[in-house]
Amino acid sequence: MATTDRRTATLALAHALSAAEHGLPVIPLSATKLPALRSPHHGETRPSGCRGACGQPGHGVHDATTDPAAVRALFAAAPWATGYGIACGRPPHHLIGVDLDVDAEGRTDSVAALQQLALQHLFTIPPTVTVLTPSGGRHIWLSGPPDVAVPNSAGRLAPGIDIRGAGGYLVGPGSVTAHGAYRLAPGTGTLPAAPCPSALLHLLTPPAPPRHRHSHPDQGSGLIRFVLAAGEGQRNTRLFWAACRAYEHGFGDALAEALTRAAVRTGLPAHEARATIASAARLTATRCEPPG
């Protein structure tokens, strides 16, 4: 491993240990922002519902821990990790992440969209931890009540606003990805994650939509076009958004191969596209499964 890579990995571990010390469960991430450890069930013919009961690492957010020895063991098993993820919805903070994306073409203003929601539903975002992303977006950290499981969503509140809740994770500040570093917004690093306003919490926890098991032949064609239109720096984000939508509406498995082909046509490696789709499947599954 090159000296720079070694330094990045060492800093990632240090940041992860610091987060764990503050009660935030963490996992190692690769430069693609995906969990760094491969699933121990990747060669199995049937999808595995294991969430770590097998005792092996590689179960994504289900590996997240605050135990320093366990954190070190996870990073030792993934020396290529350049960052860390923070599991949302877990005690003691029950973190909710409001991810405000930036559209490279300037067609989506997620900050303005959040402000409009706040005006419409009469809430304000209190001062809280805010993480700046390499693309110019930001992650707003909020704390949820222990008895409410906030589902993950992509663009459901408004275009460009993604929510990380139970079963999801946020890229931690200090992480380095292929597109740059995540860093704390000035003046927010010493703040606690502020309680989520009740009006916003109500918007984040609607009844789960019905899952339709049978789809029209044309269903998903718009999602394929959305992926094909991805520009440089958007491919993974657009693919993840489209896959989340497909799985939320019950035809994710049927569309997975077509989504993979579309992503490959935009220049994304096939293995990375499949990993992104698998991540979307795991995140959206938390809507209908009891917490593990």
Domain identity same for 66 and 110:
no
Domain identity same for 127 and 156:
yes
Q: Of 34, 56, 87, at which residue does a domain stop?
A: 87
pLDDT of 57 over the 60 cut = yes
Domain identity same for 100 and 132:
yes
Position 287 confidence tier, pLDDT thresholds 50, 70, 90? very low
Domain identity same for 75 and 93:
no
Position 34 confidence tier, pLDDT thresholds 50, 70, 90? very high
Domain identity same for 132 and 72:
no
Domain identity same for 147 and 181:
yes
58-111 per-position pLDDT tens digit: 889 999 999 999 999 999 999 999 999 999 999 999 999 999 988 766 556 899
Does the reported pTM lie above 0.75? no
Q: Of 70, 87, 104, at which residue does a domain stop?
A: 87
216-261 per-position pLDDT tens digit: 445 688 889 889 988 877 888 889 888 888 888 888 888 999 999 9
Domain identity same for 111 and 163:
yes
Q: Of 45, 64, 87, at which residue does a domain stop?
A: 87
Domain that holds residue 230: 221-285
Domain identity same for 176 and 246:
no
Domain identity same for 70 and 97:
no
User: Within a domain: residue 216?
Assistant: no
Peptide bond into 92 cis (omega under 30): yes
Residue 102's DSSP bridge partners are 109
CATH code of the domain in which 148 resides: 3.30.2250
Q: What separation in angstroms does the CA of 123 have from each of 47, 84, 269?
A: 42, 31, 42
Domain identity same for 23 and 7:
yes
User: Within a domain: residue 290?
Assistant: no
**Into how many domains does the chain fold?**
3
Domain identity same for 100 and 200:
yes
Q: Which residues of 236-261 are buried (b: 16+ CB within 10 A; e: fewer)?
A: bbbbbbbbbbbbbbbbbeebbeebbe
Domain identity same for 133 and 152:
yes
